[in-house]
């Protein structure tokens, strides 16, 4: 192959759109084929960690993300009584060269889609194309699409490389691993929601986790506009263990399943702290998106010939530690660098380099999230002081807490010294 590879990306989520931008930036053209027929602003809050912010800066979209979302300055952990365990600086406040940005997923998605269309042309995102399967030989791969609603076959698309960025229910992954079955459930349900508040929570630039691994509230601000007006668009997640790990979740993972807050409110009836009234927050939120906390086992291989996996298709992970989108962004950088570095045009070697770098790295994050590493101090403190504490220093030293937090950052590769 002595021409730049023709690349088809299946899936126009955060990963697929970022990959299109990064390829374009490197002089490689790609087209994104997305299953849905419109690009709606879906989801609620999402986080961009500093290592992913660095990539977005390089792609020239970080300013737009910061203008829409909120630059995080602090992370705080609390027990289930709202008592402070640890507060640590984040993003630029912690000395990073890049911020940590909390943003509405819909806004992040829209900003990326706009940038793709501005730079690659409107036709670079092809809607209504659901990857069904593919055929390949030594020279080319043929991606086959259907209209998801009607099942009608679309024209097949030929390319040199098919990148499947088609999310947790990836069709390509299923083709490679037909016996894998449904995602693994942690036993926890998550209810995600946003609510407009008169005043920001914890000063407006703080993300927090409060509770334990079995029952927890996580929250952060996501709107620069609300913040500038002195108010708040607050994103929060109520998480409750409702079943046993490794059993079948009560429902299929659907990011858009709307639930009432009554589904989880009784679990938090007495969660009234001096800095947050959880029942009042739930009632003000009115509705939520319910999602079982699932992931999949790390795979032995992502690349099969001219087809490879990227983002959630490759490594769906429990959303503990805000790494889902960020790790997908790092995949994009690694794949593009590998393609560019391989001047001889040896696709096989480039894909091996991409996978060699990213598969072990993301497997480590999947495992760390399974051990709840980012929030492990919550369970540690709950075990040592189940009824709460007078002084956190009597329960655990600050050095121990900081070591726990630092260890997760190292695994997910966003410790300051790693950037
Ligand atoms: C609707 C939606 C809402 C979400 N909301 C949140 C949220 O609020 N907070 C959060 O932290 N994370 C959310 N996520 C997940 C988060 O975006 C991902 O974990 C992370 O950003 C990695 O991105 P990804 O592109 O790999 O996967 P995703 O963002 O899931 O994107 C996958 C894309 O592929 C498309 N697709 C699926 N199957 C096919 C197919 N066979 N052919 C072509 N296209 C296909 C999907 O429509 C989607 O656009 C949401 C995902 C979705 C799809």
Q: What is the pLDDT of residues 190-213, one digit of tens each?
A: 999 999 999 999 999 999 999 999
pTM, entire model: 0.95
- CB-CB neighbours of 277 under 10 Å: 15
* CATH number assigned to the domain covering 184-295+372-418: 3.30.9.30
CATH architecture observed for domain 7-43+104-181+297-370: 3-Layer(bba) Sandwich (3.50)
Give whole-number Cα distances, 191 to 41, 194, 285, 312, 356, in Å: 18, 10, 11, 20, 35
User: Cα(7) to centroid of ligand 1, in Å?
Assistant: 20
Q: Which of 37-41, 121-125, 161-165, 267-271 has the lowest mean pLDDT?
A: 37-41
Give the pLDDT mean for 212-216: 96
183 C-beta closer than 6 A to ligand 1: no
288 C-beta closer than 6 A to ligand 1: no
User: Cα(167) to centroid of ligand 1, in Å?
Assistant: 5
Which atom of ligand 1 has the smallest separation from the CA of 47?
11
User: What residue ranges of the chain are covered by domains with CATH 3.30.9.30?
Assistant: 184-295+372-418
Give the pLDDT mean for 317-338: 93
Query: For residue 252, what are the contacts with CB-CB under 8 A and spacing of at least 6?
Result: 182
Structure tokens at 236: 């929060």
Give the pLDDT mean for 61-89: 97
Query: For residue 114, what are the contacts with CB-CB under 8 A and spacing of at least 6?
Result: none
15 C-beta closer than 6 A to ligand 1: yes
238 C-beta closer than 6 A to ligand 1: no
User: Cα(405) to centroid of ligand 1, in Å?
Assistant: 27
User: What residue ranges of the chain are covered by domains with CATH 3.50.50.60?
Assistant: 7-43+104-181+297-370
Residue pair 378/211 in contact (Cβ under 8 Å)? The answer is yes
Q: Which of 105, 171, 233 to mutate to test the pocket of ligand 1 (most atoms within 8 A of CB)?
A: 105
User: Cα(268) to centroid of ligand 1, in Å?
Assistant: 29
Query: Mapping DSSP to helix (H, G, I), strand (E, B) and coil, where does residue 369 land?
Result: helix
Q: Whose CA is nearest to atom 14 of ligand 1?
A: 43
Q: Is the pLDDT of residue 3 over 80?
A: no
User: Cα(173) to centroid of ligand 1, in Å?
Assistant: 15
The confidence band for 320, taking pLDDT boundaries of 50, 70 and 90, is: confident
């Amino acid at each position: 192959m002595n021409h730049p590879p023709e690349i088809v990306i299946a899936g126009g989520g955060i990963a697929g759109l970022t990959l299109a931008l990064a390829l374009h930036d490197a002089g490689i053209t790609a087209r994104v084929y997305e299953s849905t027929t419109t690009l709606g602003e879906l989801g609620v809050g999402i986080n961009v960690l500093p290592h992913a912010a660095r990539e977005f800066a390089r792609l020239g979209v970080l300013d737009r993300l910061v203008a829409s979302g909120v630059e995080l300055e602090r992370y705080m952990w609390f027990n289930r009584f709202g008592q402070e365990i640890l507060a640590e600086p984040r993003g630029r406040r912690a000395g990073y060269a890049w911020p940590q940005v909390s943003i509405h997923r819909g806004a992040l998605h829209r900003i990326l889609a706009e940038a793709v269309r501005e730079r690659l042309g409107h036709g670079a995102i092809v809607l209504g194309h659901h990857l069904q399967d593919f055929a390949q030989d030594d020279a080319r791969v043929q991606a086959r699409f259907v209209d998801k609603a009607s099942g009608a076959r679309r024209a097949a698309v030929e390319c040199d490389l098919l990148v499947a960025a088609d999310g947790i229910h990836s069709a390509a992954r299923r083709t490679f691993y037909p016996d894998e079955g449904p995602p693994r459930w942690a036993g926890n349900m998550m209810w995600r929601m946003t609510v407009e508040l008169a005043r920001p929570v914890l000063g407006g630039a703080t993300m927090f986790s409060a509770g334990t691994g079995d029952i927890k509230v996580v929250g952060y601000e996501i709107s620069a506009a609300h913040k500038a007006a002195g108010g708040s668009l607050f994103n929060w997640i109520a998480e409750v263990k409702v079943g046993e790990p490794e059993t079948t979740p009560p429902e299929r993972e659907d990011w858009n399943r709307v639930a009432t807050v009554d589904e989880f409110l009784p679990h938090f009836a007495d969660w009234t702290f001096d800095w947050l009234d959880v029942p009042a927050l739930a009632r003000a939120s009115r509705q939520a998106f319910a999602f079982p906390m699932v992931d999949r086992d790390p795979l032995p291989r992502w690349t099969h010939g001219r087809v490879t996996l990227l983002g959630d298709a490759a490594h769906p992970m429990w959303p503990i530690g805000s790494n889902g989108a960020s790790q997908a962004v790092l995949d994009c950088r690694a794949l593009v660098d590998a393609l560019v570095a391989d001047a001889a045009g040896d696709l096989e070697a480039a894909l091996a380099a991409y996978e060699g770098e990213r598969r072990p790295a993301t497997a480590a994050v999947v495992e760390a999230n399974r051990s709840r590493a980012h929030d492990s101090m919550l369970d540690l403190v709950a075990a040592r002081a189940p009824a709460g504490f007078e002084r956190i220093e009597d329960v655990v030293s600050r050095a121990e807490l900081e070591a726990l937090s630092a260890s997760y950052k190292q695994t997910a590769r966003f410790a300051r010294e790693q950037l």
